[in-house]
A and B are shown apart, each in its own frame.
Chain A
């Protein structure tokens, strides 16, 4: 007979039990050790019976689902005094093993790709001392962060080689999946491709109140498409029109990896860190996933999805419930918009046994109440187009980036309606620095419920006119807004705004 712990906070929960079934219990006691009773298992297709089969499988470094999903290291603070977490990061050259048996030269935060994950908590500022050990200018933009202009990583505010800058992040906004990346003028297509991107997960108490999965069940996933040379180095060719397209999808720096999951609920946080590729994600043959958050954090209510379109720089957080699958089950996350074999498989989830009792819950009701925006006091239309004067470049309202010109001067605390008009045949993921917006209207149809939360990037589709309402808070100063298809943003699809008192 197994020993027994007293029940913890589980008594008198009959009402919850009746409403939600057993899954509603956040805390349950364990009455027995792991048993050998596991039920039948599905035979794994990834394990060929013969050694020849195994050699054949290993023959191509691109064979999907061969490598376990890497999780980027979490950056440890060098100091936590006075309620401020201080981090120190070197921006430097590094070597990554992306294709088995090959070395890939990269640029990396701390020399790794993806860069180390920073886990920040709302109300607790962080200071990240970035030291540029590369041979050229660099800087760091915290994408999606409410950050003072001086610390935002404006393209002209750079860290010279050998110098450092202390980026101060107030972390006063609600929990969200942010990310940090290089933003030096005219170079981002190159530097992000070669590895200068990392994730910044800002959490708050709401995550805990809602019982959302945490720790090993809360998984950041950075998607990026790449191509390779025969020596294993990244292959890059500029494409100003379409933007770069690679023939291979990396998740956290591994070719279409596999992730072993327990029979639990997982919070999968997707970041599209690709130069210009959009993904249309589909789980298995169309199993539903529950989207709980987007760029600016939690949605008001969870949204059930069978396909999820994610444009460059966007974030999508999905809850996936693996509890109903027997151990040995395998489910592929596909990119149904992939144009080649290597761009169709994103990753695979392999269900294993174990994991114990579920301690997290799937939210069903209201998760958050979004603040009301002030009434807009201006309306602007931004035409997006490709021009050939002074070389090939993309423009916003027929203007290319000019650091000496301020294109908009909104008042702090005000809001405006911005209409992105895209007559071109390319997607333009339009991103506003330092502030957030809401999507108001799209010419292509109703605004999807999953797009009704706070956003910092909107994928404006070919032929589409999309209206967004930015709220110019909380900081004054000079910021940029630009296309996050990096080849477009570098050439020269970027304008400046200065938020004035």
Chain B
């Protein structure tokens, strides 16, 4: 029967390729394409769809025919069950025509045609740039940090205290990097007054409303990372 059909087809000059004269196997892939989106067979031959080793849900279903007339009614309702991987499905085409098939899960990329006893459709012209993928070709990053942690302590120097206006003590200092500086006036181990400032280089902080007496002046500094400078002390008498 097949031989008769082939010779008939050849006689009509419709089919030219010897590759046509066989059943076809089409594989659905996890790259969301069919390995053979267009196959040609002769009436009476069979197409098998398989999904070897896939990790995504696929199946195959009829997407109608090219042209107006539905030539094979059983094709219209052809559909296979979903699966991971999906089971094989097959269909024997008996009538000439161009049959469209699809994976409905991936309808934008997994579609194709079976040409039965008719000339296969001419190869499609190249797609416009708006439909060709521009893949991300950037290499994978290998280093995820290039970091120097700040473990260095700031340096506190030139600490001095002077009396200013009534009850005000000006504490001068120099700090080697951006730091928060705490100036405390202490007496008998207790902090009586304290003032906080932030900055870098030379600076001073004024401690106001200080009652008369002799105080220990303690200056502490911590940089942005929280590293603390060695504590500096001096003393002052407020009159």
Which A residues form the contact surface with B (CB < 8 A)?
A: 1-2, 4, 6-7, 10-14, 17, 21-23, 25, 28-35, 37-40, 42, 45, 60-64, 99, 227-233, 235-242, 247-248, 256, 263, 282, 284-285, 287, 323-326, 328-332, 334, 340-342, 344-345, 355-358, 386, 388, 391-392, 425
Contacts and interface: CB of A to CB of B under 8 A. Distances in A.
8 contacts: A1-B202, A22-B222, A31-B198, A32-B200, A60-B138, A229-B129, A229-B132, A240-B57
B133 interface: yes
B145 A332 contact: yes
Contacts of A342: 136, 138
Among A17, A64, A232, A256, residue most surrounded by chain B Cβ atoms (within 10 Å) = A17
A7 B104 contact: no
Interface residues of B, number: 67
Interface in B33-87: 56-59, 79, 81-82, 84
B138 A6 contact: no
Interface string B107-139: 111000000000000000000111111111111
A332 B144 CA distance: 5
Given A11-B194, A37-B176, A64-B138, A325 B149 contact: yes
A240 B108 CA distance: 11
Interface string B186-214: 00000101111111111111101000000
A183 B82 CA distance: 28
B182 interface: yes
A38 B150 CA distance: 11
Given A32-B202, A39-B150, A64-B138, 19 more contacts: A4-B204, A6-B206, A7-B197, A10-B194, A22-B182, A22-B228, A31-B199, A31-B205, A32-B200, A39-B152, A42-B146, A42-B148, A45-B146, A241-B58, A282-B144, A284-B147, A329-B149, A340-B140, A425-B84
Interface of B: 32, 56-59, 79, 81-82, 84, 104-109, 128-141, 143-150, 152, 172, 176-178, 180-182, 184, 191, 193-206, 208, 222, 224-226, 228
Main secondary structure on A side of the interface with B: loop
Given A14-B191, A341-B138, A391 B104 contact: yes
Contacts of A392: 57, 59, 82, 104-105
Contacts of B59: 388, 392
A182 to B, nearest CB: 20
A349 to B, nearest CB: 9
Given A22-B182, A64-B138, A239-B106, A231 B146 contact: no
Contact of A227 (B81, B133, B193, B208): B133
A334 B201 contact: no
Nearest to A349: B145
Contact of B226 (A63, A240, A324, A330): A324
A101 to B, nearest CB: 12
Nearest to A18: B191
A2 B105 contact: no
B166 to A, nearest CB: 16
A4 B105 contact: no
Nearest to A393: B104
Contacts of A37: 176-178, 200-201
